[in-house]
Amino acid sequence: MTDTNPTATDSRNCPKCNAALPIDAPAGLCPACLVAAGIGGSETAATTRKNDNTAFEPPSIETLAPMFPQLELLEFVGRGGMGAVYKARQLGLDRLVAVKILPRETGDDPAFAERFTREARAMAHLSHPNIVTVHDFGQAEGTYYIVMEFVDGANLRQTILAGRLSPEEALAIVPQMCDALQYAHDHGVVHRDIKPEN
């Protein structure tokens, strides 16, 4: 007779509520804590939001280029609450990518590397037409980065501000966003920064 009860090797506990969860639980949290984190945000997310526009100065392309010999950094795209984004060419595959650089101080938290790795892997498992594809992630000279699919064009906020969005077009976008968010949620990924720029 086979034992079907989970053992210590099959499961672990949620660090927030201590509920048992499978080893491959996305973000290492149970579904209830994932939802709570998505609604209220964690202490780390709150701290990040509070410091969005303070000390982080995006590095220049000249500073970053030696750290990424596999990429040709082309231009600075913008900065947000979680770092800066650059347009680059992935030389080996000759394709355009977006490189997101996180502030160096994020790596000062000992638990950050584990969280970053877990979240990047969870994102990389998502395959949806309305979610950018993650190609690579890692750390270069103390700087954490994610290499993603590059999507050219204006973001939703820019489109709205330019007055180029009819009510019918806006209504057509909403189901696509909801479908992508539901897909991510079904795979244990909670988007904690939903806004037109993202």
The torsion angles phi and psi of 187, rounded to 5 degrees, stand at -105, 15
CA distance 177 to 87: 24
Handedness of CA 146, 152, 154, 156 (dihedral sign): negative
Query: Which 3 state secondary structure label does DSSP give 61?
Result: helix
Active-site annotation holder among 10, 52, 109, 193: 193
Known catalytic membership, residue 193: yes
What tokens were used for 187? 């795979």
What tokens were used for 4? 């079907």
Average pLDDT in the 63-78 region? 95
Residue 73 pLDDT > 80: yes
CB within 8 Å of 79: residues ≥ 6 apart:
56, 58, 85
pLDDT tens digits, 138-177:
999 889 999 999 999 888 888 888 888 888 998 999 999 9
Cα 86 → chain centroid = 15
pLDDT tens digits, 23-61:
656 556 666 665 555 433 333 333 333 444 456 789 999
- What pLDDT was estimated at residue 63? 94
Average pLDDT value for the chain: 79
